[in-house]
Structures are given as C-alpha cells and as structure tokens.
C-alpha cells in the first residue's frame, strides 16, 4: 500500500486527506475506505499472487489497485457508471493491467467470471448475499461488512468448504450500504 499513490484515487478538493486514517468521500454518497481497513481486509484475504478476485464496490479504484498488486486477476463491479469509467481510466493510466472494471449490480456479483478464489465487498450488506457465496470457489474466502445501517456492522470472513461455509466476525466497522441494482447515473 505504501507504494500506491492513494492521492490519485481521491477527488482534488479532498486530496489533503488522502493519507489520513479515515474514510474520504468521493461522490455519489461513496467513500474510499480508511487505510487501516483496506490493509486489514486485504491482508485477511491471504493472497498468494495467482487468485481471481471479485471486488464489489469499485468506487475510486483504490482497493482494486491494491488487490491487483497481490492477485493474478481482479474483477471489480461498480453500480455507478461514472465512478466505474473514472476508475477504469485511472487504473489504465497508472498501469494496473490485471483489473477489469464492470458496471452492474454488486449483489448479483459477476457470474461470467466465477468462481472466484476471493471476494471482497466494500459496502455493508444487511444480510448474507447468497448469490456472492455461490460465486465463491471451494476453499475460497469472502470478506464483507455485515449488519444494519445505523447499527452494529462487522467485517465478516467467510470460508467456503465442501461441507458449507464457516463464518468469523473480525472487527466492528461502519460502511456505506450495499445497494441493490445498477444505478443509472451519467
């Protein structure tokens, strides 16, 4: 993370806050997660360099850039076309060539490229998104903030095995909501 230009993923008026350890707004009611949470979630995925990763919630593309340095390939889905196009251009300009940004409904995932070795959701779901669990490979790990808006949320680690899914609650957090459907923005 220290080698990534985080300020390039934050709107110009907010760049003075780029390296502070808190979430920064990037538009559309969306934030770029605080560095501590990005590091914790990324480290918990235990990437070895060959994995196919699905990220739900591209935002500015920062988390996708972090994942791209550690995984074989990253598919990142964003509901807002404007954010997806800006992230796609930013990542291309900065040379992140193993990331595919797609526009769609994050709760539906991206079955065209499933199964995924790892899935990271960067917005809070109120209940377990079974469609995403279905797209996780056996032996795969999914991380997501889970819990009600305005209530207690936790980053949850799910591990899929041949006999089911195990769950581990990690830390309390507060994330923007994971909204259904694709937004029809610009």
Residues involved in catalysis: 33
Other C-beta atoms lying within 10 Å of the C-beta of residue 80? 23
- Three-state SS for 4-41 is CCHHHHCCHHHHHHCCCCCCEEEECCEEECCHHHHHHH
Closest C-alpha among 34, 3, 30, 27 to residue 13: 27
The token pair at 88 is: 């796609």
The Cα–Cα gap between 168 and 63 comes to: 22
Q: How many CA atoms lie within 13 A of 100 on its CB side?
A: 11
């Amino acid at each position: 993370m220290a080698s990534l230009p985080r300020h390039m993923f934050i709107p110009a008026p907010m760049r003075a806050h780029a390296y502070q350890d808190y979430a920064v707004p990037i538009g559309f009611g969306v934030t770029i997660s605080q560095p501590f949470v990005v590091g914790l979630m990324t480290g918990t995925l235990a990437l070895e360099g060959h994995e196919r990763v699905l990220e739900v919630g591209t935002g500015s593309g920062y988390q996708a850039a972090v994942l791209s340095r550690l995984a074989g390939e990253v598919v990142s889905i964003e509901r807002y076309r404007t954010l997806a196009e800006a992230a796609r251009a930013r990542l291309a300009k900065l040379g992140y060539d193993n990331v595919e940004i797609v526009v769609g409904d994050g709760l539906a995932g991206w079955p065209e490229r499933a199964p995924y070795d790892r899935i990271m959701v960067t917005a809070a779901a109120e209940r377990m998104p079974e469609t995403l669990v279905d797209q996780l490979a056996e032996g795969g790990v999914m991380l997501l903030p889970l819990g009600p808006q305005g209530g207690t949320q936790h980053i949850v680690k799910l591990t899929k095995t041949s006999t089911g899914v195990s769950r581990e609650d990690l830390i309390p957090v507060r994330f923007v909501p994971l909204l259904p459907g694709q937004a029809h923005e610009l």
